[in-house]
């Protein structure tokens, strides 16, 4: 063996060093690897349960509440690999979020006083629902720090709407949706006066401080936008807020099935702890007053209408959650309380209230009258989570370092798992819908002190443990770390429920779904000027930015409107203008705009910031900003030397040979695909269409290089031939992938 010999020659002096990287001679067995890495059988089983083989796909998409990162994180279960960071309340440079005009405008419209706040605090997202089931279309976040609410579209995983709350200075950083997403619910967290009024907390707390719950009316359009998207909207004018006395509000949830129309939440005031119940359908019929443009229902009217009541509980609870069947709601501090919606509805209908009242005269329902039962769980329950098996619920006991599986119908403990860490929030895939699944439980670990993680200094990521709950015994399978996030709650949906698109219709403004009026197609690039206002209509395609040279004057207000002409998968181009702080990301089909004042003269290269092909570095151009008094240099024809010209001619001829070889490959693949009826297999067909699309695009390019070759313009001929070949390679690649896929389907090799 070649390498063995070499190592023997190196001799003893190297032993110390080689021990660092343990070179392995020959193939290892599983037994070798277990020994070398200190794995036991359970580790290997856990590894096998989470490892994603070639061709495999995760079962679930998980979406995280990331706290003050202001960014959505998407990961896959069970592979626990992070798939995407998406800017929601914070700018996100890689995707140009908060950088291009379209997304900046959206964030600005959703900000207080037109300030753009550059972070958020988002802890508990909610997925849109139809009949109590996740429909895979939208996701919502509340911003606790800057009082905003956001809507994300899941066909392209982008933020589509941000609204600043017109009343609350502080929001609970979570949302809930009703069972057909009629409303997205958001509440205040810490009480404060509304409308930026000043007041003294010591003496005016009860009179001037307020809390509240907002029901954002949501519309999911029947009609697609011009670009073929369905982009839902929260409608500010049709939304309303229930004004409440100054409670500190915590987690809440919406009823479903029999309890549809009700919501429940945690409320605290001084040393009193409550679960509040609100009948939002009743609220919707009450009279409102306008505060700062928002419709407000007073709690006096809500009380009169029997639309609000509270249950006092002995200690603060972190959560209250509605059972999947909608029958109960469960809350827990150290002790769990299972409340029965039917009994609560009866009590509210019959006004069977305690003689005590909560602040503002809100009626109190005696817990004993409406509870299904209680159960002592342990110390400091942080979260509860449901799964599909009937009546099964999990609770995380922070200070006991365990998760308990118990039955909320029989009020008996079924099982528990002792953990190495203090468990925080829990998440079961589909767990906040009417049909939770029963494979996995994700558990938050904030500390990561004693697990399998290398220290990275004073501040560490949050950790998400994946627990296998599919059998009677719970098993801690995997610890993933999530950087740049302070994880709280999360939601996960079956992967196949979400239908991501591959590319946009050409010219799409992705925030509105409309076709941008700045859409530009190949050959129609132009620069328009009116006074000092300059619009550049440009295009991006491998490996050209058109126009390649732009000249403006110092002081001009300049906008680059760019359209990515690509149709190939993931063929994103970035665009940046050096030292001008302008930057954008352009997915296939997207049109976006970058506006700036040309306030510094000079020559500023602009270039593609994505590695888009092997010719990526040639995707560049020059912005010349002419200072006042700039003198044009006399234009002279740029002439290539004879030697240079011959060099290009040779390059061109060499490239033609390669082009012909590539075409032979393509022809072979095309014939094979036809012979095997590729059109009967939808995904194969899509790949072939992608390949054909590439070749069609190439046709014009071919005309160019042939024309230039005829004219003896060898540099241009070579560059266009190179460009043609790029398309060809992309087409060949798509074709070969189609062939491979079809071969597998046909069981052939």
Residues 388-407 that bind a second copy (CB under 8 A): 388-390, 398-399
Could you tell me the smallest distance in angstroms from the CB atom of residue 219 to a second copy? 22
Q: Is 495 in the site for a second copy (CB under 8 A)?
A: yes
19 contributes a contact to a second copy by CB under 8 A:
no
Residues in region 564-623 near a second copy by CB under 8 A: 569-570, 572, 574, 576, 578-579, 581, 583, 585, 587-590, 600-605, 607, 609-611, 614, 617, 620, 622
Indicate the residue among 603 and 746 with the shorter CB distance to a second copy.
603
- For residues 572 and 587, the answer to whether their CB atoms sit within 8 Å is yes
Which residues from 413-452 bind a second copy, rule CB under 8 A? Answer: 414, 420, 422, 424, 429, 435, 437-439, 446-452
- Name the nearest CA neighbour of 724 among 541, 526, 524, 525: 541
Interaction of residue 48 with a second copy, rule CB under 8 A? yes
Could you say which of 11, 13, 37, 517 contacts a second copy (CB under 8 A)?
37
Burial (CB < 10 A; 0-12, 13-18, 19+), residue 346, is middle
- Contacts of a second copy in 168-187 (CB under 8 A): 169-170
35 touches a second copy (CB under 8 A): no
Using rule CB under 8 A, residue 660 touches a second copy = no
The size of the interface with a second copy (CB under 8 A), counted in residues, is: 205
The CB-of-586 to a second copy minimum distance in angstroms stands at: 9
Of the residues 8, 11, 12, 21, which one makes contact with a second copy according to CB under 8 A? 21
C-beta closer to a second copy: residue 118 or 696: 118
**Tokens describing residue 640:** 């290539």
CB-nearer residue toward a second copy: 41 or 675: 41
343 near a second copy (CB under 8 A): no
513 vs 99, 171, 681, 695, 721, CA distance in Å? 18, 29, 30, 28, 36
CB 144, CB 121: distance < 8 Å: yes
Strands 133-143 and 126-130: antiparallel
Shortest distance (Å) from residue 242 CB to a second copy: 20
Shorter beta-carbon distance to a second copy: residue 86 or 283: 86
* 95 interacts with a second copy by CB under 8 A: yes
Interior angle at CA 73, CA 133 and CA 177, nearest 5: 30
Residue 250 touches a second copy, criterion: CB under 8 A: yes
Query: Scanning residues 463 to 482, which ones bind a second copy (CB under 8 A)?
Result: 470-473, 478-482
Query: Could you tell me how far CA 193 lies from the centroid of its own chain?
Result: 33
Does 728 sit near a second copy (CB under 8 A)? no
351 is an interface residue for a second copy by CB under 8 A = no
| Least Å from the CB of residue 286 to a second copy | 27
Residue 655, interface with a second copy (CB under 8 A)?
no
CB of 701 to a second copy, least distance (A): 18
Residues 62, 64, 70, 678: which binds a second copy (CB under 8 A)?
Answer: 70
Structure token pair of residue 49: 């349960």
Instruction: By CB under 8 A, name the one of 382, 427, 594, 666 that touches a second copy.
Output: 382
Per the CB < 8 A criterion, the answer to whether 248 and 269 are in contact is yes
> Phi/psi at 208 (nearest 5 deg)?
-115, -20
Q: Do 341 and 255 form a contact (C-beta atoms < 8 A)? A: yes
Integer-rounded Cα Rg, in Å, for the chain is 31
Residue 401: other Cβ atoms inside 10 A: 16
DSSP state of 520: -
Contact between 740 and a second copy per CB under 8 A: yes
Binding of a second copy by 8 (CB under 8 A):
no
* Contacts with 541 (C-beta within 8 Å, 6 or more apart), sequence order: 522, 564, 565, 566, 573, 697
Sign, Cα dihedral of 107, 71, 432, 176: negative
3-state secondary structure 170-216: CECCECEECCCCCEEEEEECCCECCCCCCCCCCCCHHHHCEEEEEEE
The residue behind tokens 């196949």 is 496
Shortest Å distance, C-beta 672 to a second copy: 18
Q: Which residues pair with 593 in a beta bridge?
A: 561
The reply on whether position 277 binds a second copy by CB under 8 A is no
Task: Name the one range near a second copy by CB under 8 A: 66-74, 368-376, 535-543, 669-677.
Answer: 66-74
* Nearest distance from C-beta of residue 745 to a second copy, angstroms: 14
238 vs 716, beta carbon nearer a second copy = 716
Helix (H, G, I), strand (E, B) or coil at 120: coil
Using alpha carbons only, give the angle 626, 545, 229 rounded to the nearest 5 degrees: 120
Q: What is the largest CA-CA distance in the chain?
A: 102
Task: Decide whether 295 or 655 has the Cβ nearer to a second copy.
Answer: 655
- Is residue 642 close enough to count as binding a second copy by CB under 8 A? no
Q: Of residues 121, 243, 253, 279, which one binds a second copy by CB under 8 A? A: 121
Q: Does 196 bind a second copy (CB under 8 A)?
A: yes
Per CB under 8 A, the list member of 235, 292, 533, 630 interacting with a second copy is: 630
Residue 343 beta carbon to a second copy: minimum distance, rounded to whole angstroms:
26
Sheet of 158-164, strand order: 126-130, 133-143, 148-153, 158-164
Q: Which is nearer to a second copy, 9 or 368 (CB)?
A: 9
Stretch touching a second copy by CB under 8 A, among 83-91, 296-304, 364-372, 696-704: 83-91
Query: Which string of x and - marks every residue 285-324 that binds a second copy (by CB under 8 A)?
Result: ----------------------------------------
Long-range contacts of 571-575 (CB under 8 A, 24+ apart): 571/542, 571/612, 572/610, 572/612, 573/540, 573/541, 573/608, 573/610, 573/612, 573/619, 574/96, 574/608, 574/609, 574/610, 575/540, 575/545, 575/606, 575/607, 575/608, 575/609
Comparison of 352 and 470: residue with beta carbon closer to a second copy: 470
């Amino acid at each position: 063996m070649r390498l063995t010999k070499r190592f023997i020659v190196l001799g003893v002096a190297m032993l110390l060093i080689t021990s660092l990287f343990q070179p392995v001679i020959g193939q290892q067995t599983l037994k070798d690897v277990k020994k070398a890495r200190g794995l036991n059988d359970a580790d290997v089983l856990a590894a096998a349960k989470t490892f994603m083989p070639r061709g495999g796909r995760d079962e679930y998409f998980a979406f995280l509440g990331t706290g003050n990162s202001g960014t959505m994180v998407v990961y896959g279960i069970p592979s626990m690999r992070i798939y995407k960071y998406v800017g929601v309340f914070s700018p996100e440079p890689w995707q140009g979020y908060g950088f291009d005009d379209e997304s900046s405008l959206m964030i600005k419209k959703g900000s207080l006083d037109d300030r753009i706040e550059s972070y958020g605090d988002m802890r508990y997202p909610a997925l849109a629902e139809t009949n109590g089931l996740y429909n895979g279309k939208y996701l919502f976040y509340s911003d606790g720090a800057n009082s905003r609410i956001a809507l994300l579209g899941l066909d392209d995983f982008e933020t589509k709407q941000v609204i600043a709350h017109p009343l609350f200075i502080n929001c609970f950083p979570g949302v809930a949706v009703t069972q057909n997403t009629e409303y997205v619910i958001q509440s205040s967290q810490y009480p404060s006066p509304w409308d930026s009024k000043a007041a003294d907390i010591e003496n005016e707390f009860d009179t001037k401080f307020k809390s509240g719950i907002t029901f954002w009316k949501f519309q999911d359009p029947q009609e697609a936008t011009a670009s073929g998207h369905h982009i839902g909207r929260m409608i500010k004018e049709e939304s309303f807020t229930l004004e409440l006395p100054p409670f500190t509000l915590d987690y809440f949830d919406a009823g479903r099935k029999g309890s549809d129309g009700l919501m429940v939440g945690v409320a605290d005031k001084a040393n009193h702890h409550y679960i509040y119940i609100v009948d939002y359908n009743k609220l919707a019929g009450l009279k409102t007053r306008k505060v700062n443009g928002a419709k407000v229902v007073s709690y006096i009217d809500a009380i009169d209408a029997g639309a609000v009541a509270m249950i006092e509980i002995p200690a603060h609870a972190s959560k209250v959650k509605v059972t999947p069947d909608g029958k109960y709601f469960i809350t827990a501090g150290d002790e769990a309380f299972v409340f029965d919606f039917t009994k609560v509805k009866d009590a509210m209908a019959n006004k069977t209230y305690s003689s005590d009242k909560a602040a503002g005269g809100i009626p109190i329902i005696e817990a004993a009258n409406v509870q299904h039962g209680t159960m002592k769980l342990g110390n400091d329950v942080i979260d509860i989570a449901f799964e599909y098996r009937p009546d099964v619920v999990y609770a995380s006991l922070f200070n006991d370092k365990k998760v308990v599986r118990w039955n909320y119908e029989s009020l008996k403990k079924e099982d528990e798992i002792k953990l190495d860490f203090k468990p925080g929030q829990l998440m079961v895939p589909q767990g906040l819908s009417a049909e939770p699944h029963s494979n996995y439980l994700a558990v938050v670990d904030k500390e990561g002190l004693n697990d399998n993680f290398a220290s990275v200094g004073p501040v560490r990521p949050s950790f998400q443990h994946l627990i296998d709950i599919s059998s009677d015994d719970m098993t801690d399978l995997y610890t993933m770390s999530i950087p740049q996030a302070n994880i709280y709650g999360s939601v996960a949906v079956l992967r196949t429920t979400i239908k991501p698109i591959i590319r946009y219709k050409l010219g799409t403004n992705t925030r509105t779904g409309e076709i941008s009026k700045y859409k530009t197609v190949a050959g129609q690039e132009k620069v328009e000027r009116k006074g000092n206002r300059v619009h550049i209509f440009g295009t991006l395609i491998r490996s050209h930015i058109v126009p390649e040279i732009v000249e403006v004057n110092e002081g001009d207000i300049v906008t680059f409107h760019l359209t990515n002409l690509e149709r190939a998968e993931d063929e994103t181009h970035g665009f940046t203008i050096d030292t001008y702080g302008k930057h954008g990301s352009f997915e296939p089909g997207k049109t976006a705009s970058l506006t700036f004042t040309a306030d510094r003269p000079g020559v500023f290269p602009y270039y593609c910031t994505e590695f888009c092909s092997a010719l990526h570095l040639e995707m560049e151009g020059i912005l010349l900003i002419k200072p006042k008094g700039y003198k044009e240099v006399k234009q002279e024809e740029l002439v290539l030397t004879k030697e240079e010209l011959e060099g290009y001619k040779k390059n061109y001829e060499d490239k033609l040979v390669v082009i012909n070889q590539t075409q032979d490959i393509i022809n072979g693949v095309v014939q094979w695909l036809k012979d095997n009826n590729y059109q009967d297999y939808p995904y194969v067909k899509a790949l072939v269409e992608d390949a054909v699309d590439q070749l069609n695009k190439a046709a014009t390019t071919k005309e160019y290089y042939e024309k230039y070759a005829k004219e003896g313009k060898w540099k241009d001929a070579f560059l266009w031939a190179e460009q043609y070949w790029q398309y060809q390679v992309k087409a060949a690649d798509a074709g070969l992938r189609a062939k491979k896929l079809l071969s597998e389907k046909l069981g052939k090799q």
